[in-house]
Structure 1
Amino acid sequence: MRNFDFNLLTVFAVLLEEKSVTSTAARLHLSQSAVSKQLAKLRDTFDDKLFERTSYGLRPTPKALYLAPELRQILNQMSQLTRASEFEPKLSQRQFRIHMVETAYSLTYPYFMPELLQKAPNIRLNSQTWHLGTMDMLQRCELDLGIACREWDNRSLQHIHNLPDELECVELLRDHPVCLVSNRHPLLKEPWNLASFLKYRHLQVTFGGIDHWLLDDVLNLEHLHRDIAVNMTDFHSAMHLCEHSELLLCCPAKYAAKMSQHFALTTLPVPTHLIPGAYVLLWHKHFNFDPSHTWLRELISSRTLAHYQANSQT
């Protein structure tokens, strides 16, 4: 390791993400031959194949997966050392990795992205939908930012104060659930209360790596439960099914206000008291003094907060 070329670590990291020599070469602006030669050097250095060829691309070996968290940490530290102490948005070509819950895309991107494109035209945002492994990735500094849903209600295990100590957060907006039903649903001719809410079967969307909602935690305290007929992972498809069935769909109010207008759906309040939750921007403390990271998260938070404060009546 005395004469180790630390540039190989960047190749290693991109191979772990792309799982393809061709894609890695394109992303790093190298030839496939150059990437193959560097992979061979990595295999010699670590005395392991690191990647095995399959019909679906390269599969990391157990040792490669073991090295991945430390690799990302080393690259982050090297990046911090070489990054300028002052950030010039117009000159930056940095790529940021962001995971966010499905409903957050339409609630945040339209309010900060236009200014980002104007002030930092060469910055790239690689955003993916939040999944079960996202929190661990944030804690390992494998992601720059995350946007998740957290609760302020003390009855919830997803309380905002229960976040890992390594993470920082800022609240972007508050929201609460509403109930969507077909415009032809028979319950619209009945009194709307908790009894009618529980009388009919429900359609549930699992998102943000959370398989149950505050609503269900609160109902369970009263020894009540919803009859979940279908569990899905996509709100748009769920709204389409809700429109054409007698299933009830609970959905975050602000997202429902944007999307339900495209469907023949009626919005009703959830007939039990719930403290509104929040969408929060998350990052590892490692990035606290990173100028470009600070610039981006302040842009996201300030523009999103400003929009919802100006439209607080919605």
Structure 2
Amino acid sequence: MLKRLDLNLLPVLEILLEEQSVTAAAARLHLSQSAVSKQLTRLREVFDDPLFERTAYGLKPTPKALSLAPELRQCLQQLAQFTRPDTFEPALSQRQFRMHLVETTYSLTFPHFMPSLLAQAPGVSLNCQTWRLDTMDRLLRCDIDLAIGCREWDERSPMHVNHIPDDLCHVELVQDYTVCLMRRDHPALAQEWNLDTFLSYRHLQVAFGGIEHWLLDDVLQLEGRQRDIAVNMTDFQSALALCEQSDLILCAPSRYAFAVMKSFELQSLPSPIKLIPGAYLLMWHKHFEHDLSHKWLRELIISQVLPSITPRV
């Protein structure tokens, strides 16, 4: 089979497995759909299997294709390492980096490092997706290059920084803490602000970054108490709009909250429970530690973001 296998077909198979669509794969590969279809035909001949079946919802991988996926990923990583250049020139690079980010980190980080990236490496691109439940697994499999996610420094949290797997490297970019948001004429503003007042109202919760609950809830649970969550959402902008029009209280990261609440009629109050500030971490697999282009990108992010963040803890 090696005589028939063109190594250039392997990235095509990887992207087809990820996208399960010839159209989407062609867009990512910057090829025509007919070119990708021809390469899929060649892959079917090489592996003597259909690999994908057409359905109303796109391409469905065959059992053979699914069995190839883990070995394919490992093979491509080894090939990339084998062919990795000894030098890296940002101005000449055409590399596409894959990143997952918690949505609240875009505004905190991208305005600071992207201008330098575009100036230094005009051919480099970032394929960014919102942090998902499987992001940590994808980092561990080296499916993505980098991720920016939330972790806690408070010992009471199961999401403590020390629980990050040993195979992952990380650097703290920003520390942040929780604030409570409510409409400007909320009745709680006329009361003494304490834990009892906080818990006497219903709450609006936004789940993001693969985190279904907050440190605040972990601490309340340890004390045998809990919030009354009226609505769970995944979109902060919609949550802010609902908070503005109701008596629901919304807990949110302070940096993001203060940046976006200018567009809403909202008031902020501190958390009624003392919490150690959490952090946004830049994470990557140690497999990429000596990858020169990867090192260039992460050092660029760190060097541009860290000095730009004003301490707020």
Asked if structure 1 preserves the Cα contact closer than 8 Å seen for 2:244 and 2:265, the reply is yes
- What residue in structure 2 maps to residue 272 of structure 1? 273
Say if 1:69 and 1:142, in contact at 8 Å, map to a contact too.
Answer: no
The offset of 1:79, in angstroms, is 1.7
**In the alignment, what sits opposite 1:217?**
218
Distance 2:312 2:9 in 1: 53
**2:311 is aligned with what amino acid?**
S
Could you list the structure 1 runs, at least 4 aligned residues long, displaced by more than 6 angstroms after superposition: none
1:6 maps to what in 2? 7
Matched residue of 1:2: which SS? coil
Aligned pairs for 1:190-205 (under 5 A) are 190-205=191-206
Which sits farther off after the overlay, 101-110 or 8-17? 8-17
Q: Spell out, residue by residue over 1:111-141, the C-alpha distance to the aligned partner (whole angstroms, 9 max, x if none).
A: 1011111111110000010011111111111
Residues 1:94 and 2:98 aligned together: no
Correspondence 1:255 to 2:273: no
Deviation at 1:43, TM superposition (A): 2.1
Equivalent-residue separation in structure 2 for 1:214 and 1:175 (angstroms)? 12
- Give SS of 1:156's match: coil
- Partner-residue secondary structure (3-state), 1:103: helix
**SS of residue in 1 equivalent to 2:143:** coil
Give per-residue Cα distances to partners, 1:227-268, cap 9 Å, x unaligned: 000000011110010000000000001111101111000010
Alignment correspondent of 2:127:
126
| Letter paired with 1:2 | L
**Aligned position for 1:170:** 171
Q: Tell whether the 8 Å contact from 2:131 to 2:210 is kept in structure 1 after alignment.
A: yes
Does residue 1:312 correspond to 2:299, yes or no?
no
Alpha-carbon RMSD: 1.4
Matches of 1:178 and 1:243, distance apart in 2: 15
Aligned residue pairs total: 312
**Which residue is 1:301 aligned to?**
302
Against the structure 1 CA distance between its residues 103 and 81, is the aligned structure 2 distance closer, same or farther, given a 3 Å change threshold?
Answer: same
Q: How does 1:28-67 map to 2 (within 5 A)?
A: 28-67=29-68
Rounded to whole Å, the distance in 2 between the matches of 1:40 and 1:91 is: 33
Check conservation: 2:176, 2:312, Cα contact below 8 A.
no
Take 1:234 and 1:62, find their aligned partners in 2: how far apart are those partners? 36
Is there any run of 5+ residues in structure 2 with no aligned partner, and where? none
Q: CA deviation at 1:212?
A: 1.1
Q: CA-to-partner distance for each residue in 1:173-220, whole Å, 9 max, x for gaps?
A: 100100000001111111100010000000000000111111101001
| Unpaired stretches in structure 1, ≥5 consecutive residues | none
Q: Deviations over 1:260-279 (max 9, x none)?
A: 11100001000111010100
Q: Distance in 2 between matches of 1:240 and 1:35?
A: 44
Structure 1 length-normalised TM? 0.95
For 2:29 and 2:207, how far apart are their aligned partners in 1? 36
| TM-score, scaled relative to structure 2 | 0.96
Distance change (3 Å), C-alpha of 1:5 and 1:204: same
